Amino acid sequence: MDEKLNLNKKVSGDIKFAGDSPKVIEMVAANPNAIGFVGYNWLSESESIKVVETLTKVSLVAVSASSSAASSKSLVPSIGSIYNNTYPLIRRVYAIYTDPSASLARGFLAHLTSERGQKIIYRCGLKPESDFQRLISIKKENIQ
């Protein structure tokens, strides 16, 4: 984040490491002047009662990649801005396999990169590398 936002040049005051994401959310909720960073997957489950409760305690802030932030150039994290890679605070997660033998790790990597594995990643609020598609064909019939 320091590279993307140049925090050392812009941030002054107390910088604290809260620990895990729930603690960051609690700290930000308790202090109205605090800013915290958590992964979008913590906030993407809109059906979860806990997530809905959390979003009533804190507000999402729009972030801009340009040096002059304007409301038209700033984005709040959302599935759309993450999927089209326009949200500026995106990071990639890599699974690197180096063992040449057939092993449990190789099977896990095969599962992770399969369509089912990519759907699991998607359901966790993360962007899968290979997007699975559901093709639907709609036929318009003449009704008389």
Taking the C-alpha atoms of residue 114 and residue 93, their distance in angstroms, rounded to an integer, is 16
Residue 3: per-residue pLDDT: 65
Residue 132: per-residue pLDDT: 61
Residue 98: per-residue pLDDT: 82
Residue 11: per-residue pLDDT: 65
Residue 94: per-residue pLDDT: 83
Task: Write phi, then psi, for 15 (nearest 5 degrees).
Answer: -115, 125
Residue whose structure tokens are 């409301």: 71
Taking the C-alpha atoms of residue 10 and residue 91, their distance in angstroms, rounded to an integer, is 21
Residue 87: per-residue pLDDT: 85
- Going by C-alpha positions, the residue among 87, 102, 94 that lies closest to residue 121 is 94
Judge contact between 25 and 40, C-beta under 8 A. Answer: no
Residue 2: per-residue pLDDT: 63
Judge contact between 2 and 8, C-beta under 8 A. Answer: yes
What is the residue extent of each domain of the chain?
Answer: 2-83, 92-144
Q: Is the sign of the CA dihedral 99, 123, 84, 55 positive or negative? A: negative
Taking the C-alpha atoms of residue 72 and residue 134, their distance in angstroms, rounded to an integer, is 32
Query: Per-residue confidence of the chain (144 residues) as pLDDT tens digits?
Result: 666 666 666 666 677 778 888 888 888 888 888 888 888 877 777 677 877 887 788 888 888 877 776 777 788 888 778 878 888 888 888 888 887 777 888 888 889 889 899 888 887 777 887 766 666 778 877 666
